[in-house]
Copies of this chain bind each other. A is one copy, B any other.
Amino acid sequence: MKKLRLRCEIGEPEEEALRAALIGPIDFPAETVVVRRGERLNSSILLLDGLLARYKDLSDGQRQITHIHVPGDFADLHGYTLGYLDHNVMTLTPCRLARAPHVRVLELTNRFPSLTRAFWFSTNLDASIHREWEVSLGRRNAIERAAHLLCELQSRLLVVGAAEGNSFRLPITQNQFAECLGLTGVHVNRVLRELREAGLADFRGGKVTVHDRGALEGLAEFDALYLYLDKPAN
């Protein structure tokens, strides 16, 4: 188990104890449902490598992805207090996961109150990202939404060392990207071409290259405050 990157700064002993509490790693192929809506949970998933999506399906076959997880994220830690999830979780790419049994999470938090704080912070950060997505879905147009999500993903991947320079791997389909943005794949395709032709960003072949981050942020009205990057909670 090489990587273990929590978004929150925690002490050495805490990290050691957390690492010891984990089961795995376990590998999953792409497009695999790893947590099903409504099923009782007794462990939570730490994403070590790959991309995970939380999503909900509608009866007519439409799907809304409500969150994308990057390596280092606890994907369903909220399930620890909720007992079950209101949504599904699936792999977007091949993923390497570790499981944290809830009984061990309980032990950990009893032993290290600061870990409770870090875990709670982590779920609150997810909620903040949900809010920003609500703003995109409710008020931004297609190109702004796409630009905003690219900014967010670049920022979050940089933090965990999964992006370097001005590019990062994003091996998902345009349709999956569209399912994040509340758009159709066809329209996302046109909008990505616009971004490319405007010299802002290029998302092709599972890879994103940001040519003008400033302009991309300007277009999207991106403000990283909601990512709480200054806040290594402890």
Q: Using a CB–CB distance below 8 Å, which chain A residues touch chain B?
A: 37-38, 54, 56, 58-59, 62-64, 66-67, 78, 81-83, 86-87, 110, 113, 116-117, 120-121, 123-128, 130-135, 137-140, 181-182, 221, 225-226, 228, 231, 233
Cβ of A183 to closest chain B Cβ, rounded Å: 8
Give complex CA distance A87, B129 in Å. 11
Do A138 and B135 have beta carbons less than 8 Å apart?
A: no
Query: Which of these, B59, B116, B124, contacts A78 with CB under 8 Å?
Result: B124
A113: chain B residues at CB < 8 Å are 110
Cβ of A216 to closest chain B Cβ, rounded Å: 16
Cβ of A179 to closest chain B Cβ, rounded Å: 8
A135: chain B residues at CB < 8 Å are 56, 58, 64, 66
Query: Which of these, B56, B117, B128, B233, contacts A131 with CB under 8 Å?
Result: B56
A130: chain B residues at CB < 8 Å are 127, 130-131, 134
Give complex CA distance A132, B67 in Å. 12
The DSSP consensus for interface residues of chain A is: helix
Do A181 and B228 have beta carbons less than 8 Å apart?
A: no
Give complex CA distance A121, B37 in Å. 17
A123: chain B residues at CB < 8 Å are 120, 123-124, 127
Do B82 and A124 have beta carbons less than 8 Å apart?
A: yes
Cβ of A55 to closest chain B Cβ, rounded Å: 9
Cβ of A82 to closest chain B Cβ, rounded Å: 5
Give complex CA distance A86, B229 in Å. 12
Cβ of A35 to closest chain B Cβ, rounded Å: 14
Cβ of A101 to closest chain B Cβ, rounded Å: 17
Cβ of A176 to closest chain B Cβ, rounded Å: 13
> Chain B CB within 10 Å — which of A54, A130, A134, A140 has the most?
A134
A226: chain B residues at CB < 8 Å are 86
A62: chain B residues at CB < 8 Å are 139
A78: chain B residues at CB < 8 Å are 124, 127-128
A140: chain B residues at CB < 8 Å are 58
A127: chain B residues at CB < 8 Å are 78, 123-124, 126-127, 130
Do A64 and B116 have beta carbons less than 8 Å apart?
A: no
Give complex CA distance A64, B78 in Å. 25
Cβ of A198 to closest chain B Cβ, rounded Å: 19
